[in-house]
Amino acid sequence: MHEKKIENLLKLNNDERLDYFLRHCADFEEIWGLSVSEDEWVVFKDLDGKEIFPVWPEAALADRCCFKEHKEMGASPQLISFDDFIERCIPDMLEKNIFFGVFFNLNKEANLLDPSALKEKLEEEHESLYG
């Protein structure tokens, strides 16, 4: 990903980053999370005690915006296919009451969505692209 594109995307506000995330993920059918190992995904608690699974539309954004604490743990971007995200990841997070932190920026700002809301938005966007 070109550096200028990264800079421009990071200037977007939360709602604009959410829109970009939905469009990009539905179009390219991939979502990026952070993992420490193959089966160990990064999930953290926010100041209110909510558990958060951070996700980004592209690996370069996940790498750039992951928190210092996560980098120190050895976390790196990990691809999740669109189908796996919808069919496996979302139900798992719903069962565990874990929210998604969609497209964190460098200031640790993101939209927090419950799994059902994110699934609905992604499926709606995917349907608009692919029918």
> Could you give the number of structural domains in the chain?
1
pLDDT digits (tens, 9 = 90+) for 33-67: 999 987 899 999 999 999 999 999 999 999 999 99
> Which pLDDT does position 37 carry in this prediction?
86
What is the pLDDT confidence band of residue 1, given thresholds at 50, 70 and 90? confident
pLDDT digits (tens, 9 = 90+) for 60-111: 999 999 999 999 999 999 999 999 999 999 999 999 999 999 999 999 999 9
Whole-model pTM: value is: 0.95
CB of 99 closer than 8 Å to CB of 84 = no
For the chain, the straight-line distance linking the first and the last C-alpha, in angstroms and rounded, comes to 28
User: Kindly report the CA angle at 121 between 67 and 84, in degrees rounded to 5?
Assistant: 70
Segments forming the whole domain that contains residue 66: 3-130
CATH number at residue 57: 3.40.1350.90
Give the span between the Cα atoms of 58 and 114, in whole angstroms: 21
> Which pLDDT does position 38 carry in this prediction?
78
